[in-house]
Chains A and B, each alone.
Chain A
């Protein structure tokens, strides 16, 4: 038996590599060696495009699915490709029946998945992104890469750097990651575990049950013009195709392909010896000939389709009706939290410049952590429960040991969700994410009677400046209208554990004027002065 080359599968793998490798590298690029323009690959991701309101990209994706089906899931989506890689690794050294041909057809969990997808998306629309944070495939991949793969790469880098350093070679340098938090690790670990277990047991099970993107695409892909289908006259129901289908979408007995679950991997087409199964131009409106498709009342592919659409609409409607109630509840807890934050009872998280405000940021961010990776000062860290369940896994600006670089706008440049809106350098320098607050009782100058001034030293706008105190001592004073909340002061304040100067987050970001330009005076001296 001679097998024909499967060009479609080759193309799929090639595309997958072209998307996956750059995205993976971008996430583990701990030293920002790659150009920032790589972030455009992240903007193609569907959930970011929805949240970032990138209608052009969404329209493009829609056309793509309508034409070719869920090719997105096998190429653009890094989580999808990652599952294919797990599958490939799993198959190494295994007999076909235990490895690449271990799958069998299963009925779809349509009720569950459409319900889950509608609830997730509708909640996200009213500002509850919690479910979406956990289910978005792209963000899950991002968290794995950021919190699991990146540390491994850094560890390797440090090993090599140490060896090279011994030879006076400083092309690599030692890096200490400060951005790995327990929450980030757990989230990354959970994603990895989920993908491995589901892929090993049931192939693309995640994509066809839990994934909200998968569910949306399913609704469209079943109308795709090009699709995998049987030529029933030549099929002998050998079942090879069914066993290769990671999506468990092929029923070889009934000779049906559930196009809603098919991710266009094209593994099945090369397994078909009879060349019955092929990727064909086969639109839904092209009526199948009655003798080729005897309508079986027991399991009709069509009835699934109708059901699923009805189901999605019905769920959507139900959730939509309950929305007002949910959003009222949401608002209530939200305002309570805000009130607490505003009265200073509890200080909220400082959100990155460009995020406009806490509420908006929470609604837009799905915690992919690309900003955490790219921040050159490692000031962004994934939150655990310190700011409540609602802020979990979102990055907050942590001034524990670093601060936000005055000139830098990288997080706002790379954020695919536009949760952090792009800023110009000047906008960044005038965006006030919080205000420095000074507690004199804790200040070294007051308690020890010695010079310090570390805070003022690090202040790029001199919003924190030193004024005369006792004798020759000087003590910090804050000009709130100059402060942008970069945290230079807090990060270096030597008072432990509670610092004398701290940034209080602005729940909604404010804007300040650039520091006034001083006149440049010509100073001429022609004497040494000593």
Chain B
């Protein structure tokens, strides 16, 4: 007991120390003093996407914590399917609009958005509402439909996937945000933050033929980690994913989860998902494999979480 207590205390103390440091920086840059230490994971429920986003960012110390003046930013949503926003096949365009705008307001020199889509890319960009959202916000939506846009990157920590071709916009970026939509998935079982990485690579077929769950975990070991994983669960596809057939596949649960800890964010998202459809975490193999690769923890008790209801 004593040892556990000691460990617990030291972990919390360690976390608190580092977070206090972050808080100090935020305080210096924004001239406000954070009243409490920023949590590791924020979950917001009950508001419109842009409202939940601003609540989450506020709790985490403001977007200035992640985006500095003059930086090149990439926002990577899921735009996989030729589907309208209400069918929840893609990330919510309102969320993307708000995030792109937030980055630009924070002084980003440019904000680029792309996804290696499954359906025809132009149709996906259009039907998802994301192309328009990005343009309205002043960002740049770029094609990802050709191998030409990708460059080989080594993944030394990968088990099965030792290298992958990644979109050059992301290679050039100083900061990136991983902004998946939470949904059911026929192959990976759950599609969330880790699964969203598949849209930054060119050859997805390799994943499927070389242990899909392992490859998903492997690609997440890439050195350049997202500044934040922001899970859109405003509308959630709970069946027939990832493409979905109709509105019957969608539950409007008006939620959003944000964290740098990608394994924790997916574990938390699964908790959300489980309230609508039962899904065993062991079936979503990549979450556990991610933990084994030290990408984060599935033990949410070890994570400081702030839950906010709007």
CB-CB under 8 A from A174, the residues of chain B are 143, 145-146, 148-149
Q: How far is the CA of A459 from the CA of B242 in the complex (A)?
A: 10
CB-CB under 8 A from A472, the residues of chain B are 189, 280, 282-283, 285
Cβ contacts B200-240/A at 8 Å (1 or 0 each): 00001111110111100000000000000000000000101
CB-CB under 8 A from A454, the residues of chain B are 187, 204-205, 208
Contact A448 B206 (CB under 8 A): no
Contact B246 A518 (CB under 8 A): yes
Q: What is the distance, in angstroms, from A438's C-beta to the closest C-beta of chain B?
A: 14
Stretch from B2-10, B13-21, B250-258 contacting the other chain: B250-258
Contact B118 A457 (CB under 8 A): yes
Name the one of B123, B204, B213, B249 contacting A451, with C-beta atoms under 8 angstroms.
B213
Q: How far is the CA of A495 from the CA of B211 in the complex (A)?
A: 12
Contact B206 A529 (CB under 8 A): no
CB-CB under 8 A from A466, the residues of chain B are 186-187
Contact B205 A494 (CB under 8 A): yes
Knowing A176-B146, A472-B282, the reply to whether A451 touches B245 (Cβ < 8 A) is no
Cβ contacts B57-88/A at 8 Å (1 or 0 each): 00000000000000000000000001000000
Q: Does A377 contact B (CB under 8 A)?
A: yes
Question: Which residue on chain A has the smallest CB distance to residue B250?
Answer: A520
CB-CB under 8 A from A176, the residues of chain B are 146-148
Cβ contacts B277-304/A at 8 Å (1 or 0 each): 0001011010000000000000010000
Contact A492 B271 (CB under 8 A): no
Q: How far is the CA of A406 from the CA of B81 in the complex (A)?
A: 11
Contact B186 A465 (CB under 8 A): yes
Q: How far is the CA of A97 from the CA of B123 in the complex (A)?
A: 56
Q: Chain A: interface residue count, which band? A: 35 or more
CB-CB under 8 A from B145, the residues of chain A are 173-174
CB-CB under 8 A from B255, the residues of chain A are 528
Q: Does A55 contact B (CB under 8 A)?
A: no
Residues of B36-58 at the interface with A, using a CB-CB cut-off of 8 Å, are 43, 45-46
Question: Which residue on chain B has the smallest CB distance to residue A175?
Answer: B146
Q: Does B276 contact A (CB under 8 A)?
A: yes
Contact B208 A405 (CB under 8 A): no
CB-CB under 8 A from A517, the residues of chain B are 246, 248
Which of A452, A459, A462, A466 has the most CB atoms of chain B within a 10 A radius of its CB?
Answer: A452
Name the one of A173, A407, A452, A519 contacting B82, with C-beta atoms under 8 angstroms.
A407
Question: Which residue on chain B has the smallest CB distance to residue A458?
Answer: B118
CB-CB under 8 A from B100, the residues of chain A are none
Name the one of B43, B186, B276 contacting A453, with C-beta atoms under 8 angstroms.
B186
Q: Does B247 contact A (CB under 8 A)?
A: yes
Q: How far is the CA of A405 from the CA of B273 in the complex (A)?
A: 29
CB-CB under 8 A from A494, the residues of chain B are 205-209
Q: How far is the CA of A453 from the CA of B238 in the complex (A)?
A: 16
Contact A457 B272 (CB under 8 A): no
Contact B185 A528 (CB under 8 A): no
CB-CB under 8 A from A518, the residues of chain B are 245-246, 248-249
Name the one of A173, A405, A452 contacting B212, with C-beta atoms under 8 angstroms.
A452
Q: How far is the CA of A466 from the CA of B276 in the complex (A)?
A: 19
Q: Does B29 contact A (CB under 8 A)?
A: no
Contact B252 A523 (CB under 8 A): yes
Q: Does B30 contact A (CB under 8 A)?
A: no
Name the one of B119, B142, B212, B246 contacting A170, with C-beta atoms under 8 angstroms.
B142
CB-CB under 8 A from A523, the residues of chain B are 238, 251-253, 276
Contact A515 B245 (CB under 8 A): yes
Contact A450 B211 (CB under 8 A): yes
CB-CB under 8 A from B268, the residues of chain A are 528, 530
Residues of A452-476 at the interface with B, using a CB-CB cut-off of 8 Å, are 452-454, 456-462, 465-466, 472, 474
Contact B271 A530 (CB under 8 A): yes
Q: What is the distance, in angstroms, from B199's C-beta to the closest C-beta of chain A?
A: 13
Residues of A163-185 at the interface with B, using a CB-CB cut-off of 8 Å, are 168, 170, 173-176
Cβ contacts A483-506/B at 8 Å (1 or 0 each): 000000000101110000000000
Contact B189 A451 (CB under 8 A): yes
CB-CB under 8 A from A376, the residues of chain B are 120, 122-123
Contact A530 B252 (CB under 8 A): no
Q: How far is the CA of A109 from the CA of B248 in the complex (A)?
A: 69
CB-CB under 8 A from A519, the residues of chain B are 248
Q: What is the distance, in angstroms, from A314's C-beta to the closest C-beta of chain B?
A: 54
Residues of A380-437 at the interface with B, using a CB-CB cut-off of 8 Å, are 405-407
Q: How far is the CA of A465 from the CA of B305 in the complex (A)?
A: 36
Contact B123 A405 (CB under 8 A): yes
Q: How far is the CA of A323 from the CA of B275 in the complex (A)?
A: 71
Q: How far is the CA of A444 from the CA of B240 in the complex (A)?
A: 21
Contact B205 A492 (CB under 8 A): yes
Contact A457 B185 (CB under 8 A): yes
Name the one of A451, A460, A529 contacting B285, with C-beta atoms under 8 angstroms.
A451
Contact A528 B307 (CB under 8 A): yes
Q: Does A527 contact B (CB under 8 A)?
A: yes
Name the one of A458, A474, A520, A528 contacting B243, with C-beta atoms under 8 angstroms.
A458
Q: What is the distance, in angstroms, from B40's C-beta to the closest C-beta of chain A?
A: 13
CB-CB under 8 A from A462, the residues of chain B are 240, 245
Q: How far is the CA of A457 from the CA of B309 in the complex (A)?
A: 33
Q: How far is the CA of A459 from the CA of B283 in the complex (A)?
A: 21
Given A457-B187, A466-B186, A474-B189, 16 other A-B residues pairs in contact with their CB atoms under 8 A: A168-B140, A176-B147, A406-B82, A450-B212, A451-B212, A453-B185, A457-B118, A462-B245, A492-B205, A517-B248, A518-B245, A523-B251, A523-B253, A528-B271, A529-B273, A529-B274
15 A-B pairs with CB atoms under 8 Å apart are: A170-B142, A376-B122, A407-B123, A450-B212, A451-B187, A452-B208, A453-B188, A465-B240, A474-B186, A520-B247, A528-B271, A528-B272, A529-B273, A530-B270, A530-B300
In the A-B complex, list the 6 residue pairs whose CB atoms are closest, starting with the nearest: A453-B187, A530-B271, A518-B248, A494-B209, A523-B251, A456-B186
Could you tell me which B residues sit within 8 Å of A by CB distance? 43, 45-46, 82, 110, 118-120, 122-123, 140-143, 145-149, 185-189, 204-209, 211-214, 238, 240, 242-243, 245-253, 255, 267-268, 270-276, 280, 282-283, 285, 300, 305, 307, 309
